[in-house]
Amino acid sequence: MTAQRLHVDWTACDGRGLCAELLPELLTADEWGFPVSRADGVPEELERAARRAVDRCPALALRLVPRGSAAPGSRPAAPRSR
């Protein structure tokens, strides 16, 4: 694993599920379309695909951040409960 992980900004995410479609190796969508992580970090061989998913997020809610840290001003990535 690399020193990066995917972070979801839950205040921005609208559950379209595009990130899970672009990166099924690391993300899956819950029943409402919100991303759920399958891994703690991003393996080197998936970094390019992870950056593509980040770049194509329509809500700009997905980021790559250093492992072990939270993105500034946001909560740690966790499945959203309803």
CA-to-CA dists, residue 8 to 11, 39, 66, angstroms: 9, 13, 13
What does the pLDDT average to over 3-23?
A: 94
The CB density around residue 52, as the number of other CB atoms within 10 Å, is: 13
Average pLDDT score over the chain:
86
| pLDDT at position 80 over 70 | no
Q: What is the pTM of this model?
A: 0.77
Sign (positive/negative) of CA torsion 37, 41, 44, 50?
A: positive
Q: Return the CATH fold of 4-66.
A: Alpha-Beta Plaits (3.30.70)
In the chain, what's the furthest Cα-to-Cα distance? 34
Listed in sequence order, the residues at least 6 apart from 42 whose beta carbon sits closer than 8 Å to its beta carbon are 1, 2, 4, 5, 6, 26, 50, 64
